[in-house]
Amino acid sequence: MRNSEPGSPVSSIDGRVPAADAGAPITRLLESMRPELLRFAHWLARDRAIAEDIVQEALLRAWRSRDALKDPGAARPWLLTIVRREHARLYERKRLELVTLDEALETQASPGFPEPGGELFALRHAIMRLPIQYREPLILQVVGGFSTEEIARELALSTTAVLTRLFRARNKLRVICGLTAVPDAPARESLP
């Protein structure tokens, strides 16, 4: 298949639609929505080639389940949902390898870690001095890039508990590093 011009999406292989399906309403609907789906997929993936693959797979899925679309007015959200799910499918098989904190400490002596006495070394040392209940969510968020909801699921906590622990962990780090802790609640002004 040849590459298309940046402004013109590929409608099908070699631009041909089978004669029996060319006039079908669902075919016209899918073709008319393709540029918008491609823009949405490009916005999601930030890559034109990946966006084209996503749209191609999404349109294939939509074609296979075309009987599920009862109201043509609902086609736009239906197709956008299929594109969003296709994009998610790209990443559901990619799993980052997680290591325990003990393993991370063992590798600390390896090259690439900061020299003792540096600011980064002092920060890592301060993080390791935190109680485990505060250290775990902080490392999961900062190093692992996990969202609050993912940390809550991983540690079997509520989202509010995770946010509280993250706040307290940062406050404890400030104290360990010799800075002033942020107060838990904003100071209330006195009422007249």
- Report which of 174, 123, 140 is spatially closest to residue 183, judged by C-alpha positions: 174
Cα 89-76-36 angle, rounded to 5 deg: 75
**Average pLDDT of the residues of the chain:** 78
In the chain, what is the straight-line distance between the N-terminal and C-terminal CA atoms, in Å? 76
* DSSP string of 117-136, one letter each residue: TSHHHHHHHHHHHS-HHHHH
What pLDDT is recorded for position 14? 46
Q: What is the spatial distance between Cα 129 and Cα 96, in angstroms, rounded to a whole number? A: 26
Top-confidence residue, 16 or 44: 44
- Report which of 157, 151, 101 is spatially closest to residue 124, judged by C-alpha positions: 101
Is residue 185's pLDDT more than 70? no
What pLDDT is recorded for position 96? 64
Top-confidence residue, 113 or 173: 173
Mean pLDDT of 163-182: 88
Are the C-beta atoms of 181 and 191 separated by less than 8 Å?
no
Q: List all residues 6 or more positions away from 54 whose beta carbon is below 8 Å from its beta carbon.
A: 41, 44, 45, 83, 86, 87, 90
φ/ψ of residue 47, rounded to 5: -150, 125
Q: What is the tens place of the pLDDT at every residue in 54-84?
A: 999 999 999 998 888 888 888 899 999 999 9
> Any idea what DSSP says for residue 30?
H
Q: 34 falls in which pLDDT band (50, 70, 90)?
A: very high
What pLDDT is recorded for position 108? 59
What pLDDT is recorded for position 13? 43
φ/ψ of residue 46, rounded to 5: 60, 25
Domains within the chain, CATH numbers bracketed? 13-92 (1.10.1740), 101-176 (1.10.10.10)
What pLDDT is recorded for position 164? 94
